[in-house]
Structure 1
Amino acid sequence: MSKLARLDELLEQYYQLKYHTQPEILSRLQDVQAWQKARMQRTHQQHFSEKNNQLMAEYFLNRLYGGSDFDALAEQIARLMKYAHKAEKIIPENAIKTGTSGVELAILAVQLDEQVAIQLLKDYPAHTALTDEMMRLTYLKLDQGEARLKQLALLDQLGVSLDKYMRSFVVYTAFKMCKSAANKYHFQVMYEFMQDGFQAMKPLKSAEKFVTDFTAIERGIIDKVHSGDPLPFQ
């Protein structure tokens, strides 16, 4: 089986999302993502503002979570699948696995937030400004606790993989050697997605620690939501 087969499966899931063909869901999804980003920035302000964490925090919020250019990235991944045999000879296996984990996380975040967006459209007028209470009630109604915990577990695994594989001089050298090919065959968005990840890691002593500090707080919020705390986001 191709090492890139999992990416193909993820793309199929991504293109089945309803927001691609239903503008009202897309609009509400964007509202949900904006609320989520603002909430995460507020919740993790101290963690994200530390000098060595700033680039990774930005990567988290703008690349791994609901990035505006993810459609373009998905299109380039789809094209890459046509050249899977050649790509696997160039891209180190551990880089493929780690990159796939990042894509899986990004898609899972969109899947979960689309569910929230659809439920909000059922329960409230389409242009109602989102509030913490609306989101709390919607999370409870959808009972996403286990799915959100899975999301955090995948994120923890990604943190370990980033430290284990992506700090390798050999991997980074091989990655840089792909730049001319990426430009030639119009895979710039994909290359930049990975390049930004490498750059975000440089100031960190440990990507794993950055991630686990983040996920520990997020697990606490999930627990508060599902244990009935009326103010879980504060």
Structure 2
Amino acid sequence: MAATSDNILQHLSAVESERVRRAGDRSLQARVTAVKAYQQRRFAHTYADLLASPRYRGVAQFFLDELYGPRDFAERDAQFARVVPALTRLFPSDVLTTVESLAALHALSESLDSGMGAAVARAPVDAAEYLAAWQACGRQADRERQVALTVKIGESLDQLTRRLLLRRSLRMMRVPARAAGLSSLQSFLESGFDTFHAMGGASEFLKTVRSRELSLMQSLFATDAVTQGTTAHAAALGQLP
């Protein structure tokens, strides 16, 4: 458990470092914010069918808000950092593993967003600007890991929702979690549990996410953003809003 807590703290520290870096450069902050806003539009574009589906709407919105949205999670992260030792006392090990994966994804995504923000020439960001920044940022291995972590978190939540006793226990932990300063974490876990449980099985949803994200990633890496008019360039732009 100590190693898990240490890992969570390291990831949160990496996120805070990105925030401090941006706070010292208003231009970078504005461009990162524009990148995040565009990425939320991109997710809504890529998964418009799932967001409109009665079965998948809730979990797609959960991904959009909690994993792809431009929200500032500084308050939540600060709560986590202060009370990480309490996590090992309040939450089961498999829940902690999910939280660790979330923290790892958070740190990686913030690092990639900073890289994208540094690469964009202006805000707001459009498809051509996003493609050029993606090419300039690179880091294909990190992009692949980002997709893998996203799917892993979904798989973990899907497995956890099958344990009814754990769901009841999670509800009973609202008061002690609030007292320990873990309200944001509690809210995230309950929202994840509820949306995944309501979906009735996440395998097809997660398969779709993995397939579409990898397809988009490969398409964006397969073309030279400087070269206009190529088939590969058009295909990459065609997957962006």
Secondary structure of 2:43's counterpart equals helix
> How far does residue 67 in structure 1 lie from its aligned partner after superposition?
5.0
- Per-residue deviation, 1:88: 1.5
Q: What's the offset of the Cα at 1:69? A: 4.2
**Distance across 2 between alignment mates of 1:144 and 1:115:** 9
Is 1:40 matched up with 2:43?
yes
User: How far apart in 2 are the matches of 1:68 and 1:180?
Assistant: 25
Aligned to 2:228: none
| Separation in 2, partners of 1:33, 1:12 | 20
* Contact 2:158–2:201 (Cα < 8 Å) also in 1: yes
SS at 1:155 equivalent: helix
Report the Cα offset of residue 71 of structure 1: 0.7
Identity %: 19
CA distance in 2, matches of 1:203, 1:233: 34
Aligned twin of 1:24: 27
Please name the residue that 1:179 is paired with. Answer: 174
Corresponding residue number in structure 2 for 1:159: 154
Number of residues paired by the alignment?
226
Moved over 6 A (4+): none
CA shift digits 1:62-116 (9 cap, x unpaired): 11224524111101101112xx1x4323211101111221232233222111110
1:65 aligned residue = 68
2:154, 2:202 within 8 Å by CA — same for their partners in 1?
A: yes
Query: Partner of 2:193 in structure 1?
Result: 198
Q: SS where residue 129 of structure 1 aligns?
A: coil
**8 Å CA contact retained: 2:39, 2:68:** no
CA distance, structure 2, for counterparts of residue 111 and residue 219 of structure 1: 19
- Aligned partners of 1:92 and 1:174 also within 8 Å: no
SS at match of 1:170: helix
Which residue type is aligned with residue 165 of structure 1?
A: L
Note the 1:54-93 alignment, pairs <5 A: 54-81=57-84, 84=85, 86-93=86-93
**1:92-103 superposed matches below 5 A:** 92-103=92-103
Matched, 1:133 2:134: no
Q: Which runs of 5+ in 2 are unaligned?
A: 224-231
Return 5+ residue gaps in structure 1 as ranges: none
Residue 119 to residue 33, structure 1, CA distance change in 2 (3 Å): same
Other structure's SS at 2:55 match: helix
* Alignment partner, residue 214 of structure 1: 209
Deviations 1:90-145 (A, max 9, x none): 2111011112212322332221111100112xxx2x4x431211111111122232
